[in-house]
Amino acid sequence: MEYNIDFAALTLWSFYGTIAFLLLAIFGFILKWGFRFRFVGATGFMAVLTVGLFGLNLALFSRVVIPNALRYNLVYDTGGDQTVITVPANITSTQLEATLQQASFDLFSPGRGSNDGDSKLTIRARTQLHEEGVTYPLYVGQIRRSLFDRDDANPEIKIFKDKMSRLKSFANG
């Protein structure tokens, strides 16, 4: 289930609430209400809430959606520069390319580091083949993108054609 939350509207209403509590606190001091210090605390809380909502409004939840990409599962992730995803066995080459691009956007994080000095994130896609009571992974493609640039314009996408043809022959026979 996906929720669409408009943080801009929530921030605006929270700002209005902060101003209202500030005005109540000022009136409380002018009129010497006994609970005026409670309005000061409520004003401070509303200010912190408003700043937090404003921070969430700065595109924390923006997500790139690549057309024709299939769902994938994350199998292995070092938190560094190596990742493996699994894709369905009936995937086509165009769907695999789109899925690899989607995974490269989804799994990008500025906190990733490289163990071997390479500045590329490698995401490998695999599926599982079941033959004669044995299940084994079949790597069908990979994408290599920058670890540091969120909008990498030149990711290296490799579709392993021999593995894809083996996958198709397995599905047909």
Per-residue pLDDT tens digits for 56-113: 887 666 678 889 999 999 998 877 888 999 999 888 999 999 999 999 888 888 777 7
65 domain-assigned: no
Q: What percent of the chain lies above the pLDDT cut of 70?
A: 91
pLDDT band at 125 (very low <50, low <70, confident <90, very high): very high
86 and 142 both lie in a single domain: yes
31 and 89 both lie in a single domain: no
Q: What angle do CA 62, 66, 69 make, to 5 degrees?
A: 130
Of 141, 72, 135, 154, residue with least CA distance to 107: 72
66 domain-assigned: no
Q: How much is the pLDDT for 7?
A: 81
Residue 15 has pLDDT above 60, yes or no: yes
63 domain-assigned: no
For residue 78, what are the CA distances in angstroms to 48, 52, 105, 117?
Answer: 35, 31, 17, 15
Q: How much is the pLDDT for 83?
A: 92
E-strand stretches of the chain? 73-77, 82-86, 120-131, 134-146, 156-159
Phi, psi of 73 (to 5 degrees): -115, 140
39 and 110 both lie in a single domain: no
Query: Bridge-partner residues for 13, per DSSP?
Result: none
Helices assigned H by DSSP within 31-146: 36-57, 93-106
25 domain-assigned: yes
> pLDDT digits over 128-151, tens only?
888 788 888 899 999 998 888 777
87 and 48 both lie in a single domain: no
Q: Which domain holds residue 48?
A: 7-57
CB 160 within 8 Å of CB 168: no
2 domain-assigned: no
Residue 116 has pLDDT above 70, yes or no: no
